[in-house]
């Protein structure tokens, strides 16, 4: 158990809908990262937050947005969903830029868009 929690575990929805994925980092970790992993694909970095502020952006679509709240949990919002958005979405946390850099991944949310 990495200490990172993600909810829900599974999500099935229809095209055009909007969903919110939630992540709670490990206690004491200030950085949260979001990744997308498609079937048999590697991990694509989406976005990073550090202590509530956006720190880095990767290949995140405009239909996707995220935020980190004062209690450090983070939410990834996916809107106007398309079939191709079906994937595993992972959240990872680390102590932040001053730490070891070790990222701890949550168990993921499997999103299926029908």
Partner 1 sequence: QQQVKQSPQSLIVQKGGISIINCAYENTAFDYFPWYQQFPGKGPALLIAIRPDVSEKKEGRFTISFNKSAKQFSLHIMDSQPGDSATYFCAASMAFNKFYFGSGTKLNVKP
Identified binder of partner 1 from the candidate list 26, 45, 67, 75, rule CB under 8 A: 45
Smaller CB separation from partner 1, 77 or 97: 97
Taking CB under 8 A as the rule, does residue 49 contact partner 1? no
* Phi, then psi, of 11 in degrees rounded to 5: -145, 125
Smaller CB separation from partner 1, 16 or 101: 101
Distance CA 75, CA 39 (A): 22
Identified binder of partner 1 from the candidate list 20, 22, 52, 55, rule CB under 8 A: 55
3-state helix, strand, coil in the chain (%, to 5): 5, 50, 45
**What is each CA distance from 20 to 5, 9, 37, 55, 103, in whole angstroms?**
14, 12, 17, 20, 22
Q: Residues interacting with partner 1, by CB under 8 A?
A: 2, 4, 31, 33, 35, 41-45, 48, 55-56, 58, 90, 92, 94, 96-97, 99-108
């Amino acid at each position: 158990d990495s200490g990172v929690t993600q909810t829900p575990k599974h999500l099935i929805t229809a095209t055009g809908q909007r969903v919110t994925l939630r992540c709670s980092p490990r206690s004491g970790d200030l950085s949260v990262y979001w990744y997308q992993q498609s079937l048999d694909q590697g991990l694509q970095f989406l976005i990073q937050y550090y202590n509530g502020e956006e720190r880095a952006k990767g290949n995140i679509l405009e239909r996707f947005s995220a935020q980190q709240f004062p209690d450090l949990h983070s939410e990834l919002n996916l809107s106007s969903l398309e079939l191709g958005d079906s994937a595993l979405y992972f959240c990872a946390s680390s102590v932040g830029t001053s730490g070891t850099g070790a990222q701890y991944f949550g168990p993921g949310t499997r999103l299926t868009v029908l």
